[in-house]
C-alpha cells in the first residue's frame, strides 16, 4: 500500500501545537503540569496535576530551543522543575513516577538524578509486581547517561524479565510480566502501550549492549503491531496475548498515532536498522483524517489535539465484554459496530502526549 509521507511542514506544525498546548497546561504556582486540559461547554479548563506527566514533558523538552522552553515553563527551567520532582522522590512508591523522573533528570544532566536511581533500586523492579510498561520505563531510565556496574546488572535483570515475558507465539508482551499473578478473566488482555514501551527500551538496550535477543524481540514485536494496524492507520488498543489477535480496537488514541508509535519505531530503526516508516506515515494519515469522525482530532481552531475516538457506549462496556468473551474461547468475538459504533470524540488533552510528540519528532 502506498502511503503519503508526512511533510516537514506538518511535522513542524505538530511540534508547534505541542509547544503551545504545553504552555497552557503548565501550572507555575505548582511547578507541575496539569493532569489534563478538557473542554467544558465552550471553555477549556485544566484539571489536576501529574508528576508522571511532568517528567515525560521534561524528557520531551531536551534539545528544544531555550526560548521555547522558557515560554512553556513560564520562565522556570527544566533544572528547577526536575529538582522539585527529585525533592520528594524518596517518598514515592510509584515505580512509573520514579523511573520517568530518573529518565528526565539524567536527560537534563541534573546533579541530583541519583536520588531517583536509588529509589528505583529500592523498589526492586527486577522482582516486584509491576506492570510491563513501568518495567520498560525503568530499563530505559537506567540506559540514559553513564552506566556504573550496579546499574548495568539491574538493567540486565530488567531486560531479561521483559524478554522472558514476551510471548513468542503471539509476538506480544503481556500487560503484566509472566511471573506476576493476574485476574484470570483479563490475564490474556494486553494493550498497545504494553508493546510500544518495551520495543523502545529493548531497542536502546540492544544499541548499548549488542544483546541479540533484545534486537530480535523488539523487531518481532514491532513487526507484529504493524501487521495488526488498521486499514486507515489505526493503532488498535487491546490485543489477545495468546493468539496475537485484536480484541477491541477502540478507543483509538491520538498519542499512539503521532507520538508513541513514532518514538518507538524511529528509535528501533536507529538502533536496529529496521524501518517501519510506512506504518508511521499511515498512522499519521489517520490522525489527519480519521474516517470514524470524517475529520481530525487535530483541532486548529482550539489549538489542541483531542485525546481519542471512542465508541458510543456506556463506560468501558465493549472492552469488558470482549475480554470476557475471548476468555471463554480465544476466537469468540462479539460484533459491536452496529450497536456501539465508533465516532465519539474525547475532548481532552494530556501533557504527556505533547511531551512524547516533542521527543518522537525531535529536530523534525
Average pLDDT over residues 183-199: 89
Res. 324: pLDDT tops 70? no
Mean pLDDT of 255-260: 98
Residue 44 pLDDT: 93
- Closest by alpha carbon to 132, among 227, 199, 75? 199
d(CA 294, CA 287): 11
pLDDT at 89 over 60: yes
Q: What is the pLDDT of residue 317?
A: 58
* Domain coordinates in residue numbering, the chain: 1-123+351-364, 132-294+308-346
Q: Provide the CA 309 distance to its chain's centre, in angstroms.
A: 17
Query: What would the pLDDT profile of 228-248 be if each residue is shown by its tens digit?
Result: 999 999 999 999 999 999 998
User: Confidence band (pLDDT; 50, 70, 90) for 181?
Assistant: confident
CATH no., domain 132-294+308-346: 1.50.10.20
Cell reading at 206: 540492544
What's the average model confidence in pLDDT over 195-201?
Answer: 98
pTM as predicted: 0.93
Q: How would residue 183 be classed by pLDDT, with cut points 50, 70 and 90?
A: confident
**Tell me, what's the pLDDT at 341?**
75
pLDDT of 325 over the 60 cut: no
Q: pLDDT tens digits, residue range 26-58?
A: 999 999 999 999 998 888 999 999 999 999 999
Nine cell digits for residue 171: 509476538
List all residues 6 or more positions away from 213 whose beta carbon is below 8 Å from its beta carbon.
163
Cα–Cα distance for residue pair 245/27, rounded to 1 Å = 42
pLDDT score for 63:
95
Query: What's residue 40's pLDDT?
Result: 87
Q: Dihedral of the CA atoms 95, 96, 102, 105 (nearest 10)? A: -140
Q: Determine the Cα–Cα distance for residues 335 and 123; give it in Å rounded to an integer.
A: 43
DSSP letter assigned to residue 243: T
Amino acid at each position: 500500500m502506498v502511503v503519503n509521507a508526512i511533510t516537514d511542514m506538518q511535522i513542524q506544525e505538530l511540534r508547534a501545537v505541542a509547544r503551545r498546548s504545553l504552555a497552557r497546561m503548565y501550572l507555575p504556582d505548582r511547578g507541575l503540569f496539569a493532569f489534563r486540559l478538557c473542554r467544558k461547554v465552550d471553555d477549556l479548563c485544566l484539571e489536576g496535576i501529574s508528576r508522571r506527566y511532568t517528567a515525560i514533558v521534561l524528557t520531551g523538552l531536551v534539545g528544544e530551543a531555550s526560548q521555547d522552553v522558557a515560554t512553556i515553563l513560564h520562565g522556570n527551567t527544566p533544572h528547577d522543575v526536575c529538582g522539585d520532582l527529585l525533592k520528594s522522590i524518596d517518598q514515592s512508591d510509584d515505580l512509573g513516577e520514579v523511573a520517568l523522573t530518573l529518565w528526565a533528570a539524567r536527560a537534563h544532566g541534573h546533579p541530583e538524578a541519583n536520588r531517583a536511581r536509588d529509589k528505583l533500586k529500592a523498589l526492586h523492579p527486577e522482582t516486584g509486581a509491576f506492570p510491563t510498561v513501568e518495567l520498560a520505563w525503568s530499563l530505559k531510565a537506567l540506559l540514559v547517561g553513564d552506566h556504573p556496574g550496579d546499574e548495568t546488572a539491574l538493567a540486565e535483570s530488567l531486560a531479561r524479565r521483559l524478554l522472558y515475558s514476551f510471548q513468542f507465539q503471539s509476538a506480544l508482551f503481556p500487560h503484566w510480566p509472566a511471573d506476576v499473578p493476574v485476574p484470570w478473566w483479563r490475564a490474556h488482555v494486553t494493550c498497545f502501550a504494553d508493546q510500544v514501551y518495551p520495543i523502545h527500551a529493548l531497542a536502546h538496550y540492544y544499541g548499548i549492549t549488542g544483546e541479540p535477543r533484545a534486537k530480535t524481540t523488539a523487531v518481532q514485536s514491532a513487526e507484529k503491531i504493524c501487521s495488526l494496524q488498521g486499514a486507515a492507520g489505526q493503532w488498535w488498543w487491546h490485543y489477545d496475548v495468546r493468539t496475537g489477535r485484536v480484541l477491541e480496537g477502540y478507543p483509538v488514541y491520538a498519542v499512539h498515532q503521532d507520538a508513541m508509535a513514532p518514538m518507538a519505531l524511529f528509535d528501533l530503526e536507529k538502533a536496529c536498522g529496521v524501518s517501519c516508516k510506512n506504518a508511521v506515515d499511515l498512522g499519521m494519515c489517520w490522525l489527519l483524517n480519521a474516517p470514524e469522525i470524517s475529520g481530525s482530532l487535530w483541532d486548529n481552531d482550539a489549538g489542541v489535539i483531542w485525546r481519542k475516538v471512542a465508541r458510543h457506549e456506556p463506560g468501558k462496556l465493549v472492552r469488558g465484554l470482549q475480554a470476557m468473551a475471548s476468555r471463554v474461547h480465544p476466537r469468540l468475538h462479539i460484533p459491536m459496530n452496529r450497536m456501539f459504533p465508533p465516532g465519539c470524540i474525547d475532548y481532552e488533552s494530556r501533557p504527556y502526549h505533547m511531551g512524547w510528540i516533542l521527543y518522537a519528532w525531535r529536530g523534525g
